[in-house]
Structure 1
Amino acid sequence: MKVLTLHGVNLNMFGKRDPKQYGTITLDQINDQLAALGKELGVEVECFQTNHEGEMCERIHRAHVEQVDAVLINAGAWTHYSYGIRDALAILGCPIIEVHMSNIHAREPFRHLSVIAEIALGQIAGFGVDSYLLGLRAAVKHAQARQA
């Protein structure tokens, strides 16, 4: 089983950007924790980050061809306005879990809207790196249920 984790715009700056909101953990550390949990759960976790919207769409298209079993996505600011990424995700036939390090609903009003939420199985926000880890557990559980 393969879970694709997608990190959106500016998320490569975790550990440097606004530690009050995001803490001091780096993207590499998040990816390491996801890989370790994936190993524990018996699944392959691939992580991909880009600051280019077209590249994100291309990676999602490739996920469709590869028939990944689940997708975990933190689209960053694209969450709030990228219909291109939303439409690319809608092509997938697997569980999609939206995650955010900060609680987007307790922040600026523009962050309250997610164009991805409508097509996601669920959204986990506000728990720092644990949002990713909880999201991975949910993705695996629902992907396994689909295969049963």
Structure 2
Amino acid sequence: MRVVLQRASRAQVSIDGQVVGQLPAPGLVALVGVTHGDDAATADKLAAKTWNLRILEDEKSASDVNAPILAISQFTLYADTHKGRRPSWGAAAPGPVSEPIVDAYVAALRKLGAHVETGHFGADMQVELVNDGPVTIILDSEH
């Protein structure tokens, strides 16, 4: 599982021009990708890391300041670009496998106390954010 975390002063996700999720205050945007072999335990581990990682202002974590999180599924985090000009998506888990794991990540964050908003799994989404810092961190369950 991969999560790209971006510290954001504001962010929103829209589908067909309609906002479906947004940060109500400065917080984190989490782009979430799932690979084969990931499970709910993987989602729990990365949710805890997301919630407790000290990447906000003054080395605070989202849990320290109750910062909201906008979580968006993104299978493209597992693009393989080693050969040719067209990415391969073989490392990304298929939708029926990955959707419940993304849902488990969101549920784990909420269980930890996070206010989490989301996009819609598998939809064509437009994500807007102002990266604060800029701060971008990549979490990978394999490292």
**Common fold, TM-score beyond 0.5?**
no
Which gives a bigger RCO, structure 1 or 2 (Cα 8 Å, sep 6+)?
A: 2
Give the structure-2-normalised TM-score.
0.36
Structure with higher helix content: 1
